[in-house]
Amino acid sequence: MQWNNKLTALLNISYPIIQAPMLGITTPEMVAAISNSGGLGSLPVGNIDPAHVRTLIQQTRALTSKPFAVNVFTYDIPIAPDHSSFDAMQAHLQHIYSRSGLGVPEINLKTLQLFSYKDILPVLLEEKISIVSFTFGVPDVKSLAQLKEENIIMIGTATSIEEAVYLEHQGMHVIVAQGMEAGGHRGTFLAGTFPQIGTMALVPQVVDRVSVPVIAAGGIMDGRGVAAALMLGAQGVQPGSAFLLTHESMATDAHKAAIAAATDTTTRYTRAFSGRWARGLSNTLIAAVEESGLAILPYPYQDALTQPARKASKAQDNPSFVAMWAGQAAGLAKKSMGTAEVFHKLVEGAEQLIPSLKGQ
């Protein structure tokens, strides 16, 4: 076994280690550190203003000449919720904020500005991004055609075998197999049951069903996880929580302290912050929303309602209202290290367990 494989050749990287796109945590500095170390950095842009997307891309390019991916949330903006549901959730949140001494402006549903991948893709095409990864499904037919015409490498996210097969049929060049252990947003997109399969069970089954390279995501924190994923047939790994405590991470000090103290039972799934399922650490906002009995708004409306509080709470380094995304193994994150150092430890740890990796 060697580091060089079909995935490294496709992505033009030295090591098949892809940094998970963590919106709100990842910085251009983190992305560049991964790419400059021989892996693939991932710049998450989610649903942010296209003008800001362009700025982030240019900031990243100023720090690295190596390949990096841009990750987008692939969804269509749903019909706005009725005012009664929106107002009820907002009134409840405002009460919680006020009780905690957090002054947060109200959101006007009528003037709320939302962005989808359709607003962001033109920027990616203009900036000539060569690798794009998707969370929550795939773009529409027109967008896929544009991406294919520009020979852009496309990476899809699957949380089940069925989703992986679908992604390959839609033309994805690479598939991320995201297990239940993974922190942050769950990439589930097909209607039906909520897949609850772990990374080590999901990866070999997906590898057996698709012909494109598979990247393992979820619970990969050190060389042991890298080696295990490769032995199960994955051609790459996508660690995220491993980089939460790095110098380049945007996690606040309180968030980092909570990660450092995390155990295997600390994290949980919730829709409280964004309206979509995501794994993270519990806090005041999650409890307040889930105990209210109110209907959680669909993404991105719930996300829009909680964003101002998250921003204000983050500025105060107050963990009560911050989305502290983290995977089940986040407690293994290394403290006070640079992103590049964590990356090299992943490589070295895997090479100790699989000596043949060195022989390239």
Going from N- to C-terminal start, the domains of the chain cover 6-77+115-249+330-358, 81-113+267-325
Q: Where are the beta strands (DSSP E) in 137-283?
A: 153-158, 174-178, 184-185, 214-217, 236-237, 267-270, 278-281
Distance CA 219, CA 239 (A): 7
Q: Is the pLDDT of residue 47 over 90?
A: no
Q: Tell me: domain 6-77+115-249+330-358, CATH 1.10.1740.10, correct?
A: no
Please name the helix (run of DSSP H) or strand (run of DSSP E) that holds residue 73, with its range, or none.
Answer: strand 68-73
The helix or strand, by DSSP H or E, that contains position 99, with its residue range, turns out to be helix 83-99
Q: Are strands 214-217 and 236-237 parallel, antiparallel or unpaired?
A: parallel
Q: Is 62 exposed, middle or buried (0-12, 13-18, 19+ CB in 10 A)?
A: exposed
Give me the pLDDT at residue 193, please: 81
Q: How far is CA 103 from the centre of its chain?
A: 29
Task: Answer whether 268's CB lies under 8 Å from 289's CB.
Answer: no
Report the distance separating Cα 149 and Cα 143, nearest Å: 10
| pLDDT score of 225 more than 70 | yes
Find the distance separating the first CA and the last CA of the chain, reported in whole Å: 9
Q: What is the pLDDT of residue 5?
A: 96
Selected residue with higher pLDDT from 217 and 266: 217
Residue 263: is it exposed, middle or buried by C-beta count within 10 angstroms (0-12/13-18/19+)?
A: exposed
Cα dihedral: 123, 127, 128, 133 (round 10): -50
What residues contact 349, with CB distance under 8 A and at least 6 apart? 222, 223, 224, 226, 227
> In this model, does residue 320 exceed pLDDT 90?
yes
Q: Which two tokens stand for residue 229?
A: 């994923």
Residue 132: strand pairing partners: 70, 154
Distances (CA, A) of 39 to 57, 237, 333: 17, 10, 18
In the sheet that holds 68-73, the strands lie side by side as: 41-46, 68-73, 131-135, 153-158, 174-178, 214-217, 236-237
Q: CB–CB of 1/221 below 8 Å?
A: no
Q: Where are the alpha helices (DSSP H) in 128-194?
A: 141-149, 161-169
Q: Is the pLDDT of residue 304 over 80?
A: yes
pTM, rounded to two decimals: 0.96
Q: What average pLDDT does this structure show over 325-329?
A: 95
Least confident of 39-43, 238-242, 258-262, 288-292: 258-262
Query: Residue 33: which of 10, 17, 46, 48 has the closest Cα?
Result: 17
How does DSSP classify residue 233?
Answer: T
Nearest-angstrom CA–CA distance, 154 and 69 = 9
On whether the CB atoms of residues 16 and 136 are closer than 8 A, the answer is: no
Asked whether 173 and 193 are in contact (CB, 8 A), the reply is no
Is the four-CA dihedral 187, 189, 195, 199 of positive or negative sign?
A: negative
Least confident of 62-66, 123-127, 191-195, 220-224: 191-195
Q: Is a pLDDT exceeding 70 seen at residue 325?
A: yes
pLDDT of 263 = 83
- CA 242/CA 238 separation, integer angstroms: 10
As a whole number of angstroms, the distance between CA 19 and CA 273 comes to: 23
Q: What is the mean pLDDT of residues 341-351?
A: 97
Bond preceding residue 139 cis, omega within 30 of 0: no
Here the contacts of 46-49 (C-beta below 8 Å, separation 24 or greater) are 46/71, 46/72, 46/73, 47/73, 47/114, 47/115, 47/116, 47/300, 47/303, 48/115, 48/120, 49/115
